[in-house]
Amino acid sequence: MILKIFCATFSVLMSDSNNNNSGGFAKTTDFKWLGIGVAIFLLIGFIMPTPQSMVDKAIEVFPNLSEDNQNYIGSSEVLAVHIKLTMALLATCVVFFATEAVPMPAVALLIGLIQLFFGITSPSVLAKTYAHDAVWFIAGSLALGATLVKYGLDKRVGMLVVNLAGTKTRSIVVGILLGTAIPTAFVGEHAVAAMYVPIALALYTLTNKSTPSPTLGTLLMVSIAVGCMIGGPMSPTGGARNALMIGFLGNMGVDISFMGWLSMGFMYTIVMSVVMAFLLPFLFKPEVDDLSEAVGLLKKDLEKHGAMTSQQKLVAGIMGLVVFLWITDKSLVKDLLGFSLGLGGIAISGAVLYMLAGLTSWKDYEDKVSWGVIVLYAGCISLGIVFKNTGASSWFADQIMNLVAPLGLDSGIGLVILMCVIGAVLTNLMSAGATVAVIGPVVLDMALSSGTNPLLVGVGLAISTSMAYWLVIGTPASSIVYASGQLQSKDFIRMATLGWPAALIALSLIIILWWTGPLGIPVDWLQP
Q: Are 392 and 34 in contact (CB under 8 A)?
A: no
* Angle, CA of 240, 245 and 518, to the nearest 5°: 115
Q: Mind listing the pLDDT tens digit for each residue in 277-311?
A: 999 999 999 988 888 888 887 777 667 666 788 89
> Is the pLDDT assigned to residue 341 strictly greater than 70?
yes
Q: Mind listing the pLDDT tens digit for each residue in 178-222?
A: 988 988 887 667 768 877 887 888 888 888 887 888 899 899 999
Nearest by Cα to 349 from 312, 313, 379, 324: 324
Rounded to whole angstroms, the Cα distance separating 430 from 355 reads: 34
> Is the pLDDT assigned to residue 69 strictly greater than 80?
no
pLDDT for position 117:
92
pLDDT interval class at 527 (50, 70, 90): low
pLDDT interval class at 7 (50, 70, 90): very low
Give me the residues paired with residue 168 across strands: 290
pLDDT for position 71:
46
SS3 content of the chain, % helix, strand, coil (to 5): 75, 0, 25
> Is the pLDDT assigned to residue 431 strictly greater than 50?
yes
Residue 10, classed as helix, strand or coil, is strand
Name the most confidently modeled range: 133-137, 345-349, 515-519. Answer: 515-519
Q: Are 418 and 404 in contact (CB under 8 A)?
A: yes
The least confident of 119-128, 231-240, 307-316, 506-515 is 231-240
Ordered alpha helix ranges (H), 209-257: 214-231, 240-251
pLDDT for position 4:
36
pLDDT for position 93:
83
pLDDT interval class at 438 (50, 70, 90): low
Reduced 3-state DSSP string for 480-501: HHHCCCCCCHHHHHHHHHHHHH
The least confident of 57-71, 252-266, 460-474 is 57-71
pLDDT for position 11:
32
In single-letter form, the type of residue at position 57 comes to K
Rounded to whole angstroms, the Cα distance separating 456 from 111 reads: 35
pLDDT interval class at 226 (50, 70, 90): very high
CA of residue 409 relative to chain centroid, distance: 28
| Of 262 and 164, more confident | 262
| Of 167 and 251, more confident | 167
Give me the residues paired with residue 10 across strands: 369
Nearest by Cα to 419 from 456, 467, 474, 369: 456
Helix (H) / strand (E) element for 183: namely helix 169-184
Residue 336, classed as helix, strand or coil, is helix
Burial of 71 (0-12, 13-18, 19+ CB in 10 A): exposed
The least confident of 26-40, 293-307, 359-373, 417-431 is 293-307
pLDDT for position 350:
92
- For the chain, percent of residues with pLDDT exceeding 90: 31
pLDDT for position 3:
31
Q: Mind listing the pLDDT tens digit for each residue in 125-151?
A: 898 888 877 678 778 877 887 887 788
Phi, psi angle pair for 488, to nearest 5°: -120, 170
> Is the pLDDT assigned to residue 518 strictly greater than 90?
yes
Rounded to whole angstroms, the Cα distance separating 14 from 154 reads: 11
Residue 270, classed as helix, strand or coil, is helix
pLDDT for position 508:
96
> Is the pLDDT assigned to residue 253 strictly greater than 90?
no
pLDDT for position 526:
64
Rounded to whole angstroms, the Cα distance separating 24 from 355 reads: 30
Q: Are 173 and 220 in contact (CB under 8 A)?
A: yes
Reduced 3-state DSSP string for 445-462: HHHHHHCECHHHHHHHHH
Q: Are 405 and 392 in contact (CB under 8 A)?
A: no
Q: Domain locations in the chain?
A: 3-18+134-369
The least confident of 85-94, 232-241, 295-304, 420-429 is 295-304
Range 160-169, long-range pairs (CB < 8 A, 24+ positions): 161/196, 162/199, 162/203, 162/295, 162/298, 163/299, 167/290, 167/291, 167/292, 167/295, 168/289, 168/290, 168/291, 169/216, 169/219, 169/281, 169/286, 169/288, 169/289, 169/290, 169/291
Nearest by Cα to 487 from 204, 266, 234, 152: 204
Rounded to whole angstroms, the Cα distance separating 396 from 444 reads: 17
pTM, full prediction: 0.65
pLDDT for position 18:
33
Q: Are 486 and 217 in contact (CB under 8 A)?
A: yes
Name the most confidently modeled range: 12-21, 105-114, 218-227, 404-413. Answer: 218-227
| Of 403 and 271, more confident | 271
Contacts of 19 by beta carbon, 8 Å cutoff, 6+ apart: 13, 201, 205, 485
- For the chain, percent of residues with pLDDT exceeding 70: 87
Mean pLDDT, to the nearest integer, of 502-525?
A: 94
pLDDT for position 116:
92
Name the most confidently modeled range: 4-18, 42-56, 328-342, 404-418. Answer: 42-56
pLDDT for position 458:
93
Name the most confidently modeled range: 97-111, 219-233, 246-260. Answer: 219-233
Q: Are 246 and 479 in contact (CB under 8 A)?
A: no
